Chains A and B, each alone.
Chain A
Amino acid sequence: MKDVYILAIESSCDETSVSIVKNGKEDIATTINSQIDTHKLYGGVVPEVASRLHLENITLVIEETLNKANMSVSDMDAVACTYSPGLLGSLLVGLESAKTLSLVYDKPFIKVNHMMGHIVANNIDQTLEYPLISLIISGGHTDLIYMENENSFKYVGQTLDDAVGECYDKVARILNMPYPGGPNVEKLALKGKDSYSMPNILNDDSCNFSFSGIKSHVNNLVHNSRQRGEDIIKEDVACSFQNAVTNCLVNKTLLALKKYNVSNLSIAGGVASNSFIRKALTNMCNENGIKVFIPNKKYCTDNATMIGAAAYILYKNNQFSSLDVNASSHEELNFKEKE
């Protein structure tokens, strides 16, 4: 079969990214323009500001990627783009730009669900094996998904309230750490001891998660100590918090693997770049004879390479999209992704 090149665009949150991916596996060129420094000023992503920056940067990011690869859009076999889930205003910029490239160069257009992108990030430089359980952990999602093959998705468990990354960001704020909180809490935790008691997170036989309780617990712990004039040891709070969250992720993932009698685990999403969580999940897999797939850290956080990798699966299955696709803030992965 001839080589397939896909130009992919991702703009669902605060990163404008464009990538050229060969055969769904090889990252030919990728550019990621992060808006993090701007959003830091506000303590989090401001959707209107994010959308504005995407519009300012989109063609520059496309051009830089094409230049790095020394290719033109006419060399592509398809143009792909994230259409859901994400911030509507942000998604629309990438989506309309991708549809325009598809029209101008007369190339097939492929809409890609961002979550499928996160999972398939594991196909870059390695090859996923099915059936598998996929754990997606990010600022917006905490999902356990059962996949019988590369193009079927069944939700096994989800967070009932906050996403794990969101919870990290909130805890960072309580501890007066700057945005983005996740990596800062992780660093802090490394220097601490597990000395504060934390609630046992949603310890039931479902595969669901819940992180609002532990968030409130950390909030109360810090505020009560302050009111009593006691010092809290930030490092120890971070360490105790991270241990509790990680235990929950490990236990629920193991539960899902056992329920579906599956021996492959794919871990994905921005929080999968947390070394402590990566290590804990890997250890659990080693102890239970599970084969674990984790993307290189640079493919965990939002990037267009994973969108190109996912688009290749849709390309092989002739799952092309028309140019009237609208963006959606919350469309989930279907059991079978079809137009």
Chain B
Amino acid sequence: MFTLFLDTHGEIITISLYNEEKIITKTQESEYSHAVYVVPMIKSILEENNITVKDIKNIVAVNGPGSFTGLRIGLSVAKTMAYSLGIPIYLISSLSAYLVSDESDRDKACILEDNKGYYISVFNKDNECLVDECYVENKDKYKDIYSVPLVIDVKKVIDFALKDQAVDAHLVRANYVKKIEVEK
């Protein structure tokens, strides 16, 4: 039985199948066409490894922050899959995913830049949260904290996400963090 991992928050789509023995990963660069790739990638990663959807025991999905559209594409797929297969789904924030992928022995910040500001979160070396996720226009406050590279270690991310509680598929939502104009 496999864990299906899905990350669509940025310009690289990552889809993995993971169990105790192995991890199989597919990535695809996509700026504005996530919808073209995500479902076909899942279909092909399953077929190429002679696995069926019935062999998926749970799902781990990155739910943001990041591209609003990218997230909604990935999460529409992830929640429909979890719902229709009746399997547990676990969500992890993109900031946490980058932070737990890093193994440095000190406090660490994840800074994701978008057109108007920065999404920020800070963990200590034991991956305990020091600064809750936020969206700021100025990142100077965090300039002395080591900033992790934006690289995802799928195995570490899945292990970390599975420690949390599963979410009801119907309640899967994107973690937008930033407020949109009409909410202000």
A interface residue numbers (CB < 8 A to B): 42, 46, 48-49, 51-52, 54-56, 58-60, 62-63, 73, 88-89, 92-97, 99-101, 103-105, 322-327
**Contact B36–A324 (Cβ < 8 Å):** yes
**Contact B180–A48 (Cβ < 8 Å):** yes
Give 10 CB contacts A-B under 8 Å.
A51-B69, A59-B80, A62-B83, A97-B76, A100-B81, A323-B40, A324-B36, A324-B37, A324-B40, A327-B35
**Contact A89–B182 (Cβ < 8 Å):** no
Q: Chain A nearest CB: distance from B76 CB in Å?
A: 4
**Contact B72–A60 (Cβ < 8 Å):** no
**Contact A323–B76 (Cβ < 8 Å):** no
Cβ-based interface call for B43 (8 A)? yes
Q: A100-B84, A103-B43 are in contact. Are A92 and B35 (CB under 8 A)?
A: yes
Q: By the criterion of a CB under 8 Å from any partner CB, how many residues of chain B are at the interface? A: 31
Q: Chain A nearest CB: distance from B67 CB in Å?
A: 11
**Number of residue pairs A-B, CB distance < 8 angstroms:** 97
Of B35, B85, B174, the residue contacting A95 (CB under 8 A) is: B35
Residue in A closest to B74 when the chains form the complex, CB atoms = A96
Most-contacted residue by chain B among A92, A101, A105, A327 (CB, 10 A): A92
Most-contacted residue by chain B among A49, A55, A73 (CB, 10 A): A55
Cβ-based interface call for B79 (8 A)? yes
User: B180: which A residues are within 8 A, CB to CB?
Assistant: 48-49
**Contact A96–B85 (Cβ < 8 Å):** no
Cβ-based interface call for B116 (8 A)? no
B interface residue numbers (CB < 8 A to A): 33, 35-40, 42-43, 53, 68-69, 72-73, 75-77, 79-81, 83-85, 169-170, 172-174, 176, 180, 182
**Contact A96–B83 (Cβ < 8 Å):** no
User: B35: which A residues are within 8 A, CB to CB?
Assistant: 92, 95-96, 325-327
Q: Chain A nearest CB: distance from B24 CB in Å?
A: 17
**Contact B36–A104 (Cβ < 8 Å):** no
**Contact B43–A97 (Cβ < 8 Å):** no
**Contact B39–A58 (Cβ < 8 Å):** no
**Contact B81–A104 (Cβ < 8 Å):** yes
**Contact A73–B84 (Cβ < 8 Å):** yes
How far apart sit A91 and B83, CA to CA, in the bound complex (Å)? 20
How far apart sit A284 and B176, CA to CA, in the bound complex (Å)? 52
**Contact B182–A100 (Cβ < 8 Å):** no
User: B174: which A residues are within 8 A, CB to CB?
Assistant: 52, 55
User: A325: which B residues are within 8 A, CB to CB?
Assistant: 35-36
How far apart sit A100 and B6, CA to CA, in the bound complex (Å)? 13
